[in-house]
């Protein structure tokens, strides 16, 4: 092989051979190993449709349906499949402008050119049926079904919450959701979103060149059926909830009723409210905006969980219990009420005068007694050398009973209320303060602020004589026999059972022969306490706290009606009606019922 020409020929042949082998391997890889072109071809012939699961149903404690689903339809778009079409024709069918059509196409392209996204949402069966006859003319568009929430009764809006379309933040943080998906934004819908939403499915269908579906791909072998969301059983009694909302019609305030032994909320009313069906369907955004703009009634504001009020005289129950624990009083301790609690130039007046023990102090709501009690609790120098230590001990017990902090239960957006800290008063009084500086908190006024659900929970503690289970709204998940064990722990508040006897006795006497007579129910022993929460912006709030029956508590009820005056005038009869409705199934005192329902308070 000394011939240079021969060597050159061999080298050229080898180069050609290597190039040929490379091309063969490359072509084999493209045509056999690499499925890119197969996928591309499939995507021109196949359509992958998301099968949205039915959202879980919600029932009340008596198995009555509170929330169900109805079918609606979305017109979907896949930008990569778009072909030239008559834009004016599509705009006429959808009753939109060309500008809106172009904006929606641009939005879909920005989201994904390959993944379907909604173009026109929540179309009715009639609307989509008319459009489907012409859909062959619009390549890249197809119809996808889903369900929307509907409510058989226009009640419990704050409890149930609402569902809305996912926003950009959700899309970025949770890969489960795609553009156009729905998610719970408040109430049960938000808290139990993972259980309610279910699991999406997938359907693969063949389509022809005219954008028409020709049937399942591979006889449905690649289809995945959606899994519906789990049904939930609420603790709510729908009949009682509807009745409570009727009683608070044309008023502002709240009703919270709890089964004390379990912490199950029987009804939770915030008024004014709204029909939950307003936040469903095409008009949802418009209706939501109108509700937000209503600054007079604030219908989206959940007063039962978020509104903070001075607890008023109902807070005396708490201070009486703490005084017993601290050894300040017992059932027979007597203070002589002179008609008011005097502090230098200021007097907290009291309509009760004379010798008073704990039972009669609760019965007659003696301001002097509970101011004296509170002062002695936090100014007990034998036990607490400084006012700061005494107050902190009182505050620790109040916190233990559920005040000044949220319950962290299944009710979202709960306010924690206000039980001021030692630091707060040190700054307010420059470190120079004593029991009289804050004595108004002994009768539920001053700096303390509580929510209605916290006050209802205090009643559960009294009814249970020393413990509570966190108030909650869901009783069972998946089946009625599968209890929601997330809320089963009994929280002991560190008070002996015997401390509750004089409190309950005084509350019972308040109903039998005191300010709570408007809550009486024939044949049922009721314990109650009226209150008047001071309101610097107008007429005081009417408050009533009650437990029934005293000997075997089945229900506790806390009622607050804004600007309604004395607790005995409006709140007490409402509490009585709620208890009677729940315990007896019907109300005998129709005069009281009609008076409350027809009462309209001007704000």
HEC letters along 223-242: CECCECCCCEEECCCHHHHH
∠ CA(308), CA(311), CA(316), 5° rounding? Answer: 160
Closest CA to 387 of 318, 438, 342, 322: 438
Q: Quick one: 216 and 273 in the same domain? A: no
**CA of 357: how far to CAs of 186, 320, 346, 369, 544, in Å?**
46, 11, 24, 8, 22
Closest CA to 183 of 165, 168, 195, 198: 165
Q: Has residue 344 got a pLDDT over 80? A: no
- Asked if 87 and 103 count as a contact pair (C-beta separation under 8 A), the reply is no
- Decide which of 181, 213, 234 is a domain's last residue: 234
Closest CA to 272 of 236, 292, 306, 245: 245
Cβ neighbours of residue 324 closer than 8 Å, sequence gap 6 or more: 330, 358, 495, 496, 499, 502
What's the rounded Cα separation, in Å, for the pair 268 and 472? Answer: 11
CATH number for 314: 3.40.710.10
Q: Has residue 3 got a pLDDT over 70? A: no
Closest CA to 412 of 491, 304, 488, 308: 304
The whole-number pLDDT of residue 227 equals 94
Q: Is residue 565 assigned to a domain?
A: yes
Q: Has residue 103 got a pLDDT over 70? A: yes
Closest CA to 258 of 407, 80, 448: 407
Q: Has residue 49 got a pLDDT over 90? A: no
pLDDT tens track for 406-455: 998 899 999 999 999 999 999 999 999 999 999 999 999 999 999 999 99
The whole-number pLDDT of residue 203 equals 84
Q: Is residue 3 assigned to a domain?
A: no
568 confidence band (pLDDT: 50, 70, 90): confident
The whole-number pLDDT of residue 403 equals 97
Q: Quick one: 388 and 436 in the same domain? A: yes
Q: Is residue 8 assigned to a domain?
A: no
Q: Has residue 305 got a pLDDT over 60? A: yes
Closest CA to 274 of 257, 255, 249: 249
Q: Quick one: 388 and 488 in the same domain? A: yes
pLDDT tens track for 364-379: 999 999 999 999 999 9
Closest CA to 553 of 321, 259, 262: 259
Q: Quick one: 527 and 571 in the same domain? A: yes
538 confidence band (pLDDT: 50, 70, 90): confident
DSSP H or E segment with residue 255: strand 253-259
Q: Is residue 542 assigned to a domain?
A: yes
* Measured distance between the N- and C-terminal CA atoms of the chain, rounded to whole angstroms: 112
Bridge partners of 542, per DSSP, are: 532, 561
Q: Is residue 439 assigned to a domain?
A: yes
Q: What is the DSSP letter of 19?
A: H
Q: Quick one: 318 and 362 in the same domain? A: yes
In this structure, what token pair is assigned to residue 228? 């519906």
- Decide which of 180, 206, 234 is a domain's last residue: 234
- How many structural domains are present in the chain? 2
The whole-number pLDDT of residue 5 equals 63
Cβ neighbours of residue 139 closer than 8 Å, sequence gap 6 or more: 81, 82, 83, 85, 210, 211
Q: What is the Cα gyration radius of the chain?
A: 34
What's the rounded Cα separation, in Å, for the pair 273 and 247? Answer: 13
The whole-number pLDDT of residue 489 equals 95
Q: Is residue 196 assigned to a domain?
A: yes
Q: Quick one: 400 and 526 in the same domain? A: yes
In this structure, what token pair is assigned to residue 403? 């005040």
Q: Quick one: 129 and 263 in the same domain? A: no
Reduced to 3 states (helix: H, G, I; strand: E, B; else coil), residue 419 is coil
Q: Quick one: 148 and 250 in the same domain? A: no
In this structure, what token pair is assigned to residue 530? 């009226």
471 confidence band (pLDDT: 50, 70, 90): very high
The whole-number pLDDT of residue 407 equals 92
602 confidence band (pLDDT: 50, 70, 90): confident
The whole-number pLDDT of residue 179 equals 85
Reduced to 3 states (helix: H, G, I; strand: E, B; else coil), residue 17 is helix
What's the rounded Cα separation, in Å, for the pair 317 and 501? Answer: 12
Q: Is residue 85 assigned to a domain?
A: no
Closest CA to 437 of 390, 400, 484: 390
* Ordered alpha helix ranges (H), 273-345: 284-293, 303-306, 315-325
pLDDT tens track for 251-297: 999 999 999 999 999 999 999 999 999 999 888 889 999 999 999 99
Q: Residues 148-177: what's their mean pLDDT?
A: 93
In this structure, what token pair is assigned to residue 95? 């009753």
Domain range spanning residue 206?
46-80+100-234
Q: Quick one: 263 and 398 in the same domain? A: yes
What's the rounded Cα separation, in Å, for the pair 475 and 257? Answer: 15
**Half-sphere CA count of 161, side-chain side, radius 13 A:** 20
pLDDT tens track for 32-43: 555 544 444 444
Cβ neighbours of residue 242 closer than 8 Å, sequence gap 6 or more: 153, 155
CATH number for 189: 3.90.1310.10
Q: Quick one: 331 and 434 in the same domain? A: yes
Q: Has residue 2 got a pLDDT over 70? A: no
Out of 25-39, 77-91, 188-202, 523-537, which region has the weakest mean confidence (pLDDT)? 25-39
- The structure tokens 């006429």 sit at 92
What's the rounded Cα separation, in Å, for the pair 30 and 24? Answer: 10
209 confidence band (pLDDT: 50, 70, 90): low
Q: Residues 570-594: what's their mean pLDDT?
A: 95
596 confidence band (pLDDT: 50, 70, 90): very high
Q: Quick one: 455 and 484 in the same domain? A: yes
What's the rounded Cα separation, in Å, for the pair 11 and 304? Answer: 90
Q: Quick one: 230 and 358 in the same domain? A: no
**For the whole prediction, is pTM greater than 0.95?**
no
Q: Is residue 319 assigned to a domain?
A: yes
In this structure, what token pair is assigned to residue 503? 């409190």
What's the rounded Cα separation, in Å, for the pair 410 and 115? Answer: 35
In this structure, what token pair is assigned to residue 426? 């040190």
Neighbours of 494 (CB within 10 A): 11
- The dihedral through the CA atoms of 74, 79, 83, 86 has a sign that is positive
- Asked if 183 and 269 count as a contact pair (C-beta separation under 8 A), the reply is no
């Amino acid at each position: 092989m000394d011939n240079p020409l021969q060597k050159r020929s061999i080298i050229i042949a080898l180069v050609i051979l290597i190039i040929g082998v490379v091309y063969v391997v490359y072509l084999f890889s493209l045509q056999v190993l690499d499925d890119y072109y197969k996928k591309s071809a499939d995507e021109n012939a196949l359509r992958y449709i998301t099968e949205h699961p039915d959202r879980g149903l919600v029932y009340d404690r008596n198995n009555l349906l509170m929330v169900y689903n109805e079918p609606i339809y979305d017109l979907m778009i896949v930008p990569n499949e778009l072909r030239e079409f008559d834009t004016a024709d599509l705009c006429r069918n959808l009753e939109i402008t060309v500008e809106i059509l172009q904006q929606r196409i641009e939005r879909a392209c920005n989201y994904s050119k390959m993944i379907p996204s909604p173009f026109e949402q929540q179309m009715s069966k009639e609307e989509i049926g008319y459009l489907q006859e012409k859909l062959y003319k619009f390549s890249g568009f197809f119809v996808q079904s889903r369900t929307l929430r509907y409510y058989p009764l226009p009640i419990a809006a704050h409890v149930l919450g609402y569902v809305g379309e996912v926003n950009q933040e959700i899309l970025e943080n949770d890969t489960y959701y795609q553009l156009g998906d729905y998610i719970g934004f408040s109430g049960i819908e938000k808290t139990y979103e993972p259980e309610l939403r279910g699991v999406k499915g997938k359907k693969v269908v063949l389509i022809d060149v005219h954008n028409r579906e020709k049937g399942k791909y591979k006889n449905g072998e690649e289809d995945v059926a959606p899994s519906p969301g789990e049904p939930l059983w609420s603790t709510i009694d729908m009949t009682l909830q509807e009745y409570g909302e009727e009683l608070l019609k044309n008023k502002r305030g709240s009703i919270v009723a709890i089964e004390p032994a379990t912490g199950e909320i029987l009804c939770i009313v915030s008024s004014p409210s709204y029909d939950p069906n307003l936040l469903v369907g095409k008009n949802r955004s418009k209706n939501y905006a109108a509700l937000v703009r209503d600054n007079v009634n604030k219908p989206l504001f959940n007063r039962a969980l978020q509104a903070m009020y001075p607890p008023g005289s109902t807070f005396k129950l708490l201070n009486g219990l703490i005084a017993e624990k601290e050894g300040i009083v017992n059932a027979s301790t007597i203070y002589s009420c002179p008609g008011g609690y005097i502090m230098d130039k200021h007097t907290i007046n009291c309509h009760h005068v004379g010798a008073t023990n704990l039972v009669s102090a609760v019965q007659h709501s003696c301001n002097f007694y509970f101011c004296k009690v509170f002062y002695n609790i936090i100014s007990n120098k034998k036990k607490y050398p400084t006012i700061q230590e005494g107050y902190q001990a009182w505050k620790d017990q109040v916190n233990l009973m559920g005040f000044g902090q949220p319950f962290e239960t299944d009710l979202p957006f709960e306010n924690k209320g206000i039980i001021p800290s030692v630091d707060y008063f040190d700054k307010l009084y420059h470190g120079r303060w004593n029991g009289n500086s804050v004595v108004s908190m002994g009768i539920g006024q001053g700096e303390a602020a509580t929510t209605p659900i916290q006050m209802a929970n205090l009643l559960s503690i009294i009814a249970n004589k020393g413990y509570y289970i966190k108030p909650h709204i869901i009783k069972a998940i998946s089946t009625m026999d599968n209890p929601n064990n997330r809320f089963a722990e009994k929280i002991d508040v560190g008070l002996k059972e015997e401390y509750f006897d004089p409190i309950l006795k005084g509350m019972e006497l308040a109903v039998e022969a005191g300010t709570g007579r408007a809550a009486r129910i024939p044949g049922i022993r009721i314990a109650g306490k009226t209150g008047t929460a001071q309101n610097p912006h107008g007429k005081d709030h009417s408050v009533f706290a009650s437990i029934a029956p005293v000997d075997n508590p089945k229900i506790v009820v806390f009622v607050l009606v804004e600007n309604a005056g004395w607790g005995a005038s409006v709140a007490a009869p409402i509490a009585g009606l709620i208890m009677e409705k729940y315990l007896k199934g019907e109300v005998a005192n129709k005069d009281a019922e009609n008076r409350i329902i027809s009462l309209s308070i001007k704000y």
